Amino acid sequence: AEKTRPSIIRVDTTIGFGAAKAGTAGVHGAPLGAQSLGDVKALFGFSRDESFKIADDVYKFYADRAAKGAELEKQWEELLGNYAKAYPELHKEFVRRVEGRLPEGWEKALPSYTPGDKAEATRKLSEHVINAIANKLPELIGGSADLTGSNLTRWKDAVDFQPETTMLGTYAGRYLRFGVREHGMAAICNGIAAYGANIPFASTFLNFISYAAGASRLSALSHLRVLYIMTHDSIGLGEDGPTHQPIETMAMLRATPNFLNFRPADGNEVSAAYYAAITNSHRPSVLSLTRQNLPHLEGSSIEKAVKGGYKLATYGSAANPDLLIVGTGSETSISVDTAKLLADKEGLTVSVVSMPCLELFNEQSDEYRHSVLLPGVPAISVEALSTFGWHKYVHHPIGIDTFGASGPYKELYEHFGLTPDVIAQKALKVLKYYKSNSVPTLDLEF
């Protein structure tokens, strides 16, 4: 038997074998019809006239299998009991992981930041988190689709999952080299999550999750905890251009039921994204991370960010804001700069809302959501992605509804009007409009 390599067994078959339309598409999605179905039954020794008939020998076969299974389960329980006596600590760890319980206090390893800390790309901040929690969560296992050096997903003392004969790792390793096969990567992670005892993660550029969409959708449909660590999340990736720059991708992911989608704006929000992704045991998550450096924001915290959206800061002196600016990811700091500009030059009071995860925000109470997105106050959003879906939350979304372009990322932000001065001018037009028109209340649930 071949024990060191996978094997492919090719079997030639005929679709609808025995039916009148055997070998054609006609038997794929349509009923065979009574006559043809009867012919197939007769061919295999069944009565033409009986439907859903289960023979006694079939019942006996499955009853015998059930008895055999019960005996195997008994043997397993005895083996596990002996293992507990011989290796009590390992048994305790094994049971914890099989039951899906996280190690007590693991979240204390999540790093937190202040505005005085150096600016870093959120993919780099993600790397800090992975290094901090990898040994606290021994069930964390995963890797990248041939982009490890860009995704920054391999922790410092990681061992590759490889046969020892390759001299590249061992089967005790937890880092997987998936290769350039995004769909296969997501499907493998689904299998690991479904089996249990491990928390899998998959990584590539955000735009390339589209190649994995069939499998990542099944993560959500099957209620599987898979972490999709997706970097290079906008035009901020720069010169690779529109083939690599996601525009509609996040809208697709946000439209997928039972999916958590994060665009963290700084280090605290990255830690919050990991906390939420790991503690939500029946939902997959996308962590959408930047290539470019971002500042750590005044007012951010892990505790606030796990609610999905929160009031970050207010600029201006009035008791109530004239305008709300909702930012996500790399555009949150741009929103802050825009708010400061409007306060300094126009005398306005502007509140900035950070919205790292719309799905978690949607799950908050009406009272909380409307304390963040204040009724009666004009609101705009800023995100370097499609504006699709934002009209539920703001009166005027600002984003990109065309494909991206190739160039240095700062020039691209200027080209697409995602700079404080341009956004401020659009904000003034929004405010002018609502001076003579009522401001509708958004994000209502009935």
Active-site residue set:
182
Dihedral through CA 169, CA 170, CA 172, CA 177, nearest 10? 50
Cβ(151)–Cβ(123) below 8 Å: yes
Q: Residue 176: CB partners within 8 Å, gap ≥ 6?
A: 141, 142, 143, 160, 161, 188
Exposed / middle / buried, residue 63 (Cβ in 10 Å: 0-12, 13-18, 19+):
exposed
Query: Tokens 């799905």 belong to which residue?
Result: 359
Residues with Cβ within 8 Å of residue 59, at least 6 apart in sequence: none
Q: Within a 13 Å sphere around the CA of 20, how many CA atoms are in the beta-carbon half? A: 10
Contacts of 181 (CB under 8 A, 6+ apart): 145
Residue with tokens 């890797």: 143
Cα 216 to Cα 30, 60, 78, 226, distances in angstroms: 29, 40, 38, 9
Cβ 36 vs Cβ 20: under 8 Å: yes
At residue 154, the 3 state secondary structure works out as coil
Instruction: Check residue 261 and report its DSSP letter.
Output: E
